[in-house]
Structure 1
Amino acid sequence: MPLLSRELYKYPLYLILHPFNGFWELKYERSRKLNLIISFAILFLLIVMKIMQTQYSGFLVNIVYPDSINSLMESLYVIVPVLFWCIANWSLTTLMDGEGKFVDIFTSTCFALVPLLVIQFPWIGLSNLISLEEVSFYHFFSNVSVLWCAYLLFVGNMTVQQYSPSKTIGTIILTIAAMAFMAFLCLLFFSLIQQMFAFVQVIHQEIVLRR
């Protein structure tokens, strides 16, 4: 347990500061089981952070109405994009001679999201102390964390798949397009299910009324 505790904060911080060496070690030199445990821990912390952001961020930066907060939906806002990214990226790179397995893509993706925790988590509390003139600092650091994650996703994808920079950029663009298509199919599916339930409900009401 002490080893896991040290790994949980030490290696992710090392990786985001030394991404090329970090992602190489992540795939080729470290235990996949340990990487998976840390990846799930990072994902869990991201979910906790997302929920806390909607509940405890200062009113100057929090655009969510408190009574409309749903912890399950906030969790899905974290889990679904990560899964969509991993599935879409794995599907494409399998066809494009990529060397990364699904578990490699998942772990590298989770590790690449660590800057969100490092930068945005402290701002949950700080957002309650800033004035209107200082809100720009909040948005600046939020943008920095997102750009840092995008850079780490690029390096992680390039290292895990053993692609050139240009091929990595092309793969990322195709991955985003595939994610949009997957989202469209999911919305279409749920819309169809909703219409089927509504149809069954109408039929049921007709039968009850005719009795």
Structure 2
Amino acid sequence: MRFLKEARYSLHVAFHPFDGFWDLKYENKGKLRIALVILLAVTVTMILKRQYAGYVVNYNHPLELNSIDELKYIILPFLLWCVANWSLTTLMDGEGKFAEIVIATGYAMLPLILIYLPNMLLSNVITLREASFYYLLESAAAIWFVWLLFIGTMTIHQYTVTKTIMTMLLTVVVMGVIIFLGLLFFSLIQQIVSFVYTIYQELSLRA
């Protein structure tokens, strides 16, 4: 099937990032739907991990977890990264389009699935002394993800190593600025609504 062939290509990107991201940009082998499927799979993986990881390493109370709340810890940072990176690289002569940024970021998240799922199963059979292996694999997944994100960013924007590192750090800063402006905007809207409602109540009482 075509979908399975496209999905297998994401494994090629994970294990051969230089060739994979180059073909993703210049041979159009990366697919937006695969990137979104990976994003969805990572979200489901994180939900399962928080609920079913072994008690030795799981400090969450399963009955208090809300799966909907988990979306904001995965999907929101993903969208913020893509928007912030696109906004920043547009000003820094980046060659990557917004769709390419989304695809590259989505493909870079694949190691989180490849390691977190078996690691979740491992956590249910290890002892407290063996928990260090669990955390080692967690760290390996994070490093692999950041490495792929770095290669993807460098390739799609055609940046140097130094400029890629600087861009990624600035992207995180821009994400913080977007969050701050978003909270400020909603706070302002809330105050305006409250002010209008207060005036409405005053007019209603006087009438």
Q: TM-score, normalised by structure 2?
A: 0.89
Of residues 56, 62, 67 in structure 2, which corresponds to 1:66? 62
Counterpart of 2:18 in structure 1 is: 20
1:77 aligned to 2:77? no
Checking the alignment, whether the CA contact within 8 Å between 1:50 and 1:75 is kept in structure 2 is no
**How many residues get paired?**
207
1:177 aligned to 2:173? yes
Q: In 2, distance between residues paired with 1:59 and 1:204?
A: 54
Checking the alignment, whether the CA contact within 8 Å between 1:43 and 1:79 is kept in structure 2 is yes
Percent of aligned pairs with the same amino acid: 48
Checking the alignment, whether the CA contact within 8 Å between 2:10 and 2:110 is kept in structure 1 is yes
SS of 2:56's equivalent in the other structure is coil
Per mean C-alpha deviation after superposition, the further-off stretch among 100-109 and 173-182 is: 173-182
CA RMSD of aligned residues (A): 2.4
Q: In 2, distance between residues paired with 1:203 and 1:131?
A: 63
Q: In 1, distance between residues paired with 2:193 and 2:127?
A: 48
Q: In 2, distance between residues paired with 1:52 and 1:68?
A: 14
Change (3 A) 1:123 1:190: farther
Please state how far the C-alpha of 1:62 moved relative to its aligned partner: 1.6
Alignment of 1:44-123 (within 5 A): 44-123=40-119
Checking the alignment, whether the CA contact within 8 Å between 2:150 and 2:165 is kept in structure 1 is yes
1:168 aligned to 2:158? no
Per mean C-alpha deviation after superposition, the further-off stretch among 191-200 and 153-162 is: 191-200
Please state how far the C-alpha of 1:43 moved relative to its aligned partner: 0.7
Please state how far the C-alpha of 1:67 moved relative to its aligned partner: 2.4
Per mean C-alpha deviation after superposition, the further-off stretch among 183-192 and 160-169 is: 183-192
1:146 aligned to 2:142? yes
Q: In 2, distance between residues paired with 1:79 and 1:177?
A: 18
Gaps of 5+ in 1: none
Counterpart of 2:3 in structure 1 is: 4
Please state how far the C-alpha of 1:63 moved relative to its aligned partner: 2.0
Gaps of 5+ in 2: none
